[in-house]
Structure 1
């Protein structure tokens, strides 16, 4: 028996089944199989599965035969088997490196991992809401710009397709305006909101369908809390306590379900 200089592995056996070996290596693999009946029987079964699949695919004129899918599944298991071992080897190596890293981290105190919390930026419509709020504050300071406290949610919905939330009973509408925005017409409502004081409720259709729970947006002296229900987004803006504003946004959001 000739001694094979390069040991035959499972990868070689899979390549033999797939016709991926050159002639010299195929002869070495066949010599290897000749001395190992059990392995040879397994490889022959794999070859049969491969040939069944090829025959089934070559003879398919219309709908595939039931045997086609079965043969494909068997052949897929054969091909995947060789890859699994390689993946397990890589996973083991990663585990070793991670363990070594944690050991070094414990031994070398200065290299400790610190927690980093990154907040995603608020949606673009929040910037429009802040701008509308500033415009409303400016309007309120000008006697020549009368406020329009008449508010009809049905009329706004009919004209803009924007559904407005139901306001708490102790809130009073001071002014309602339709402002332009980068997303189209928007509704800007200024409200006397009890303990919150003077607030703006901004609503717009941002062009996306989403459900966003009330979320505080970082700002300076003016806080904002935004949320979205379906195709309409809202932002509550005020120079008020952020937590109170967040609770108020949650109350408004709940009326839209």
Structure 2
């Protein structure tokens, strides 16, 4: 099905939470292939959330004056957002003004917990659990593996775009799992040496563009990243953490 061109008005409506679900998915898919535009929209989303926090949390650092200033700036920003250049100028002005006032009243603006925390996102634990389940299934004669991998069908059914398996890797099983944020996809793989790996994809309900990072959980390691609305994790033995990170970098590039 042909998708209508993504216009600046669609991006503005996306930031303002005014798009219907289907159009929102189309905008997110478009942004996932355009890192520069995605970074710009992420900055707008962050600005929106900072303003909403200042307006709705009167006890947050910044005092009543900060909330009043945020309301005035938010209204002005909304009117000017129609022009890209003015939007960027307004965004800079908001951060300067809020930062100055917070510094004068209560000290520098605190880093949000979601930014400061180094803990892996929750989807990484879900990916690890899916990997353990796939290993369990592989040892059960009664559980038939499904090695047929159809990325187009997966995308149509789940709105999750999965990358192609690296050359020389073998798909052993493909499963759709439930998650708190909707369906997720787990592909059980074997690399060239026969090592059991899995690639996990999910729509976590947030929009981020992050580079692959790694985390270790007991005997397993996960290289995880997010491209727009879809997050991924490549899971394998903890002893192959560096190899997983390199493979995740290649998989992330293959999606652009």
TM range (shorter): 0.5 to 0.7
Q: Which residue of 1 is the match for residue 66 of structure 2?
A: none
Q: Deviations over 1:105-139 (max 9, x none)?
A: xxxxxxxxxxxxx9700001001001111111110
Q: CA offset at residue 220 of structure 1?
A: 1.5
Q: What is the alpha-carbon distance in structure 1 between the residues aligned to residue 161 and residue 221 of structure 2?
A: 23
Q: What RMSD over aligned residues (CA atoms) do the two structures have, in Å? A: 1.6
Alignment partner of 1:131 out of 104, 129, 141: 129
Is 1:231 equivalent to 2:237 in the alignment? no
Q: CA offset at residue 166 of structure 1?
A: 2.1
Q: Deviations over 1:48-80 (max 9, x none)?
A: xxxxxxxxxxxxxxxxxxxxxxxxxxxxxxxxx
Q: CA offset at residue 196 of structure 1?
A: 7.0
Q: Secondary structure at the match of 1:199?
A: strand
Q: What is the alpha-carbon distance in structure 2 between the residues aligned to residue 119 and residue 218 of structure 1?
A: 16
Q: What is the alpha-carbon distance in structure 2 between the residues aligned to residue 161 and residue 125 of structure 1?
A: 17
Aligned residues, how many?
A: 141
Counterparts of 1:36-115 in structure 2 under 5 Å? none
Contact 2:165–2:171 at 8 Å: present in 1 too?
Answer: no
Q: What is the alpha-carbon distance in structure 2 between the residues aligned to residue 191 and residue 252 of structure 1?
A: 13
Q: Which residue of 2 is the match for residue 184 of structure 1?
A: 182
Q: Which residue of 2 is the match for residue 6 of structure 1?
A: none
Q: Which residue of 2 is the match for residue 173 of structure 1?
A: 171
- Mark the runs of 5 or more structure 2 residues left unpaired by the alignment: 1-103, 105-115
Segments of 4+ in structure 1 off by > 2 A? none
Is 1:212 equivalent to 2:204 in the alignment? no
Contact 1:190–1:199 at 8 Å: present in 2 too?
Answer: yes
Q: Deviations over 1:133-181 (max 9, x none)?
A: 1111110110000100001000000000000112212111000000111
Contact 1:196–1:245 at 8 Å: present in 2 too?
Answer: no
Q: Which residue of 2 is the match for residue 159 of structure 1?
A: 157
User: Per chain length, whose mean CA-contact separation is higher, i.e. which structure has more relative contact order (CA < 8 Å, sep 6+)?
Assistant: 2
Q: What is the alpha-carbon distance in structure 1 between the residues aligned to residue 119 and residue 240 of structure 2?
A: 20
Contact 2:174–2:187 at 8 Å: present in 1 too?
Answer: yes
Tell me the TM-score normalized by structure 1: 0.53
Q: What is the alpha-carbon distance in structure 2 between the residues aligned to residue 155 and residue 203 of structure 1?
A: 14
